[in-house]
């Protein structure tokens, strides 16, 4: 039985993979004010967001 991969990407996983593969943080493909960007940064940094004030620093 083969495993099925999700057809949509997880921004947190994308960010983590970008860091693993040595891509720069500014390689994030999502708009600066989007939830996806915040999630991508969370994955890249390897730390969960604590509150909305962290988004202002991106």
pLDDT tens, 4-32? 444 458 999 999 999 999 999 999 999 99
Q: For the chain, give the mean pLDDT.
A: 82
Question: Which is more confident, 16 or 48?
Answer: 16
pLDDT of residue 8: 58
Q: Are 16 and 45 contacting, i.e. CB atoms less than 8 angstroms apart?
A: no
Establish if 20 belongs to a structural domain. yes
Establish if 51 belongs to a structural domain. no
Establish if 36 belongs to a structural domain. yes
Poorest-pLDDT segment among 9-13, 35-39, 41-45, 46-50: 46-50
pLDDT of residue 11: 97
Alpha carbons within 13 angstroms on the beta-carbon side of residue 14 total 15
Establish if 34 belongs to a structural domain. yes
d(CA 32, CA 37): 6
Whether this prediction's pTM lies above 0.95 is answered by no
- Number of structural domains found in the chain: 1
Can you give the residue range of the structural domain that contains 16?
A: 11-46
Establish if 57 belongs to a structural domain. no
Establish if 24 belongs to a structural domain. yes
């Amino acid at each position: 039985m083969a495993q099925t991969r999700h057809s949509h990407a997880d921004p947190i996983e994308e960010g983590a993979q970008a860091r693993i593969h040595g891509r720069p943080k500014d390689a994030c493909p999502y708009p600066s004010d989007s939830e996806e960007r915040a999630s991508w940064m969370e994955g890249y940094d390897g730390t969960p967001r604590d509150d909305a004030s962290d988004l202002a620093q991106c």
